[in-house]
Every structure is written in structure tokens, then in C-alpha cells.
Amino acid sequence: MRLIAILSLLMITQISVAQNKVDARQVIAHRGAWKNTGAPQNSLESLKHAFELGCGGSEFDINMTRDGVLVINHDADYFGSKIEELTYAELNKTKLKNGEDLPLLENFFKMAGKNPKTLLVAEIKPSPSGAERSEKIAAEAYKMAKKYKLLKHTVFISFSYEAVLKLVSLDKKIKVQYLTGDKSPDVLKAAKVPGLDYHFSVFEKNPDWLKKAQALGLSTNAWTVNKPELMEDLLKQGISYITTDEPEKALELVRKGL
């Protein structure tokens, strides 16, 4: 009897350890997996590498051309041309360094297919023309994710609080995280924003924010976490995701169980 009791206790302990384990779903490749693969940032190739690595998510940046096309590019400029001032055809005369066209959000969703294992972490870039256009980009990106039945597989993120609130108003069930780091978990909770994705230094300056966000049921994410010690520290604190230029390193860490 005593042996059975001991064995059951051991099993319970093992289960609870397993539940606290970190896993690959927490690792988000920042702008795709580009650093160690040679793919251009924010390209279809970098997204494909993130899928192949088995990352939990792959982040990318969305801007909108003058003719309303949603394109993937980090800056408001594409090889020196202002994205909002030119049409897609005009911009696409210049190709990425691997020969790809200026990537379309639509093609990112197409590549993800049905039920992808890797989340699409879609950053809505604040428009240089102001909040109204940022909200429009958010609404159009939402529509596109819905069209491809990928809302459950998408996390929308933005530095534009207006874009974040627009997304929350469109759909209460979607995953949305605010990026700027100037609002406490309480403020976000009160505004019904379901998550935050802050620069790691914000969590260092506000040591209670991660715990607070977790207690409030917000999803949590930190960028851009490239150092293994920092990856380990945040993962041990049970952060939902870390966003990194080094997904290979982060995956190695989580697969070793830290």
C-alpha cells in the first residue's frame, strides 16, 4: 500500500513538472528566421524557415501601399521609396535580395495553409499619415486573416494603440498584444486588450508587470530576446512567448528543457 502511495506521489510530481515545462510554442521568430539562414527579413523564405524550424510563431510587419495593398516590410520605406505614396506595381519594380517580389500579406496567409503549427504574428505598422490609416491597416489585415480562416492562428500586435483598440472592437476573440510598453497590465485589462508584447527592458523596469499581466489573464510576450540568459529568465517566469532573432538558440534551450 505504502509503495502504491509513493508511486502515485511520484507520478503526480512528474505531471506537475511536465505542466511547468517550456516548449517550442513559446518561441517566435522575429521577422521570420533570417539571421542564421541568410533569408531576407520579412520574406516568404524567412517565414518558410520559421515553419520548418517548428517555431511557435513567426512575426512580420504590415504596411499598406497607396492603392491599398497590404505588404510585408519593416519600414515605412521600401528601398528608399515611401510605401504609402506609391502603388504596389511601382514598388515591386525593386525585388528583395533573394529575387522575391515585395511580399504580400495574402501570400503569407496562403503559405501558412490550414491549421499551421506556427502562429502568424502580424504587426500592424503605425501609418506615417496617422491613427486613422493605422486603424484601416488593422481592419484590412483582420479581414484578410478571416478570409483565410486563420484568425485562431494569428496574433495581431501594434505600437499603435488606436490599431490595437480597433482590433479589439472588431472581434473579442482574437489575440491582440500592445507593443509600446507605456501602459500597465491594469490599464490594458480595463480596455479589454488581451495581451502585451513589451521590450524586455520594460519588464526589468517594472518587475511586477509580468506577474500582474499573468494574474489578469493577459497573454505576454517580450522582444527582442536574443541572449540565452534572458531567454531562460523569461521562460522560467512563464512568459507566453519570447520574440527573437535567434529562434534556433531559443528552440535548443526549450528542447533541452532549460
Which residues lie near Mg ion (CB under 5 A)? Answer: 61, 123
Nearer to Mg ion, 62 or 254 (CB): 62
In angstroms, rounded to a whole number, what is the distance separating the alpha carbons of residues 50 and 30? 9
Kindly tell me which of 22 and 241 has the beta carbon lying closer to Mg ion: 241
Closer by beta carbon to Mg ion, 22 or else 162: 162
Question: If DSSP codes are grouped into helix, strand and coil, which group holds residue 201?
Answer: helix
Nearer to Mg ion, 22 or 250 (CB): 250
The angle formed by the CA atoms of residues 37, 121 and 243, to the nearest 5 degrees, is 60
Q: Which residues pair with 124 in a beta bridge?
A: 62, 158
Of 123 and 162, the one with the shorter C-beta distance to Mg ion is 123
Cell, residue 185:
497590465
Q: Which is nearer to Mg ion, 57 or 194 (CB)?
A: 57
Name the residue nearer to Mg ion (CB basis): 59 or 135: 59
Burial (CB count within 10 angstroms: exposed 0-12, middle 13-18, buried 19+), residue 137: buried
What's the closest the beta carbon of residue 206 comes to Mg ion, in angstroms? 22
What's the Cα-to-Cα distance from 192 to each of 164, 178, 189, 202, rounded to whole Å? 10, 11, 5, 21
Residue 70: CB atoms within 10 A of its CB come to: 22
Burial class (CB in 10 A: 0-12, 13-18, 19+), 84: middle
State whether the Cα torsion 42-44-48-49 is positive or negative. negative
Q: What is the length of the chain?
A: 258
Residue 228, sorted as left (phi over 0), alpha (psi -120 to 50) or beta, turns out to be alpha
- Residue 12: CB atoms within 10 A of its CB come to 10
Q: Which residue is nearest to Mg ion (CB)?
A: 123
